[in-house]
Amino acid sequence: MGNQSYGLNIFLFSFTRFITELGSGVYKFALALYIADVTGSSAAFATVLGFSYLPGVLINIFAGAYIDRHNKKTIMVVTELLSGALVLLFLLFFLQFPTNLWLFVGYAFVISTIQAFTYLALQASIPELVDEERVGSMNSIYQAISAILNVAGPLVGAVAYGLVGMEMILLIDGLSFIGAGIMQMFLRFRKTEVVQETTQSYTETIKEVFQYIREQVVIKYLFLIFLLLNFIFPPLMYVGLLHIAYRVEKVSMEQFSFIQSSWFIGIIIGAAIVSMKKVSKYVENKIFLLIQVQGILLMTWIFPIFVPETSNASWIITGVFVGILLVSAIFNSMGNIPIFTFVQLNTPEHLRASMFGVVGTFTGVAVPFGIWLYGILLEAVHWTYLVFASGAIIFVIALIAHLNKQVSQYFKKKEEQVVATDKSA
């Protein structure tokens, strides 16, 4: 495969992710507005949202093992087409039963199950769509698209809900999935996928993944730290930040929106920086240092206790939070993308989707459990202790990983290989 094929793959991958995730983001936000209008209940939307997360916990680990045994491109295409057909079928039922909450619950569970297969197949396929040097760039593009749509999705969703209504949003969402499935037929893999026959049961395959994680010291630490970051950061972003800035420090809703937006802007900037070839090679060996920096930046969240109570205190708090979250998100993006790239390139192809399935399952448990735990702790202890302790835990664990002899030797060897390659180029 030449540069032209890689370029086509990058375009198809990026465009299909953009249209499907935009459609899903618009639908999700419009759904929140629709359920609020119909039921007036936050619990109703939480119920639907909760069922959309369940597949990540229940089937990811087995979906990964299934994908490793079958043609990934076929799975990507079929699941996108199935998702589109399901959305259009749901639209027909929605027209007949527009206020049936359980219809939304069932749809959320089934579409999330299908998309779990799509996501794992995509993650496992990236190293086969481009050469090794472009894998990091593909992950950067994916991260940037997700961050952009986290901002754009609610905005477009609010406008679309008011202008065209849920019916048209569902129609466009369904067609976007079908369009993505058709376009993905033109993806070209670096080598023809050979589906290997295996006598291993799914349970044995999953055991092999855990055995591989235990044996690979670097991947073991990356796995543990990735889980830790997902246990701490999403709860603090969803629950902690609202508690600290809005409830305690009394910033306005407008100011709070600035604070939240700065995180996604930082993710986009970080993804753009790490997509550069020289930067990508440099940070690949500095993953644990980047995570230590994130721990330190998280500890600086306690700064409001040092801000004097004046008429413009809320704007000072807003400005400092914007700066901290912007920089934190840049480092978060520069740390997460190399983690994904490292795992993709260093996991055997026959275990790659299973690896991401295992990660997805544990992350699916860590995030909601973290949100629940932080919600309780924020009521029980002063928020400054919780934030500072969280940052300290991240810093210490990343430091232990960084100082581990096997880890340092591995990255030193990797750095020497990069230097040797640059000299010979």
In the predicted model, is pLDDT for residue 277 greater than 80? no
In the predicted model, is pLDDT for residue 68 greater than 80? yes
The closest of 202, 250, 212, 215 to 406, measured between CA atoms, is: 215
Query: Which of 27-41, 46-60, 164-178, 393-407 is most confident?
Result: 164-178
* Residue the block writes with tokens 């997509």: 275
Whole-angstrom distance, CA of residue 169 vs CA of residue 342 = 37
- Of residues 151 and 295, more confidence is placed in 295
Whole-angstrom distance, CA of residue 350 vs CA of residue 67 = 9
Indicate if the alpha-carbon torsion angle 239, 245, 246, 248 is positive or negative: positive
Which of the residue ranges 14-28, 34-48, 411-425 would you say has the lowest mean pLDDT?
411-425
pLDDT, the chain, mean: 86
In the predicted model, is pLDDT for residue 411 greater than 80? no
Residue type, 393: I
List of residues 6+ apart from 51 with CB closer than 8 A: 105, 108, 109, 112
Task: Return the DSSP state at 43.
Answer: H
82 token code pair = 């199935």
In the predicted model, is pLDDT for residue 241 greater than 80? yes
Cβ atoms of residues 147 and 268 within 8 Å: yes
89-147 pLDDT, tens digit per residue, is 999 999 999 988 889 889 989 998 999 999 999 999 999 998 888 888 888 998 889 88
Whole-angstrom distance, CA of residue 84 vs CA of residue 157 = 19
* Residue the block writes with tokens 């297969």: 117
In the predicted model, is pLDDT for residue 235 greater than 80? yes
In the predicted model, is pLDDT for residue 80 greater than 60? yes
* Cα 251–chain centre separation: 28
What is the average pLDDT across 363-389? 87
Domains and CATH numbers, the chain: 3-187 (1.20.1250.20), 206-424 (1.20.1250.20)
Tell me the DSSP string of 245-282.
IIIIS---HHHHHHHHHHHHHHHHHHHHHHTSHHHHHH
In the predicted model, is pLDDT for residue 289 greater than 80? yes
Query: Which of 115-119, 252-256, 359-363 is most confident?
Result: 115-119
What is the average pLDDT across 229-235? 87
Residue 424: in which H helix or E strand, if any? Answer: helix 405-424
Indicate if the alpha-carbon torsion angle 378, 384, 387, 392 is positive or negative: negative
* pLDDT band at residue 421 using 50, 70 and 90 as cut-offs: low
Whole-angstrom distance, CA of residue 126 vs CA of residue 383 = 40
Cβ atoms of residues 341 and 135 within 8 Å: yes
Which of the residue ranges 139-143, 188-192, 255-259, 375-379 would you say has the lowest mean pLDDT?
188-192
Residues belonging to the chain:
425
Tell me the DSSP string of 320-360.
HHHHHHHHHHHHHHHHHHHHHHHHHHHS-GGGHHHHHHHHH
Instruction: Measure Cα distances from 353 to 26, 124, 191, 424 in Å.
Output: 28, 5, 17, 34
In the predicted model, is pLDDT for residue 59 greater than 70? yes
In the predicted model, is pLDDT for residue 323 greater than 90? yes
* pLDDT band at residue 383 using 50, 70 and 90 as cut-offs: very high
Q: What pLDDT sits at residue 418?
A: 56
Predicted TM-score (pTM) of this structure: 0.80
Tell me the DSSP string of 119-131.
HHHHHHHHHHHS-
Q: What pLDDT sits at residue 225?
A: 87
What is the average pLDDT across 158-178? 92
The closest of 297, 160, 287 to 233, measured between CA atoms, is: 297
The closest of 390, 395, 381, 377 to 301, measured between CA atoms, is: 390
What is the average pLDDT across 238-267? 84
Q: Whole-angstrom distance between the N-terminal and C-terminal Cα of the chain?
A: 20
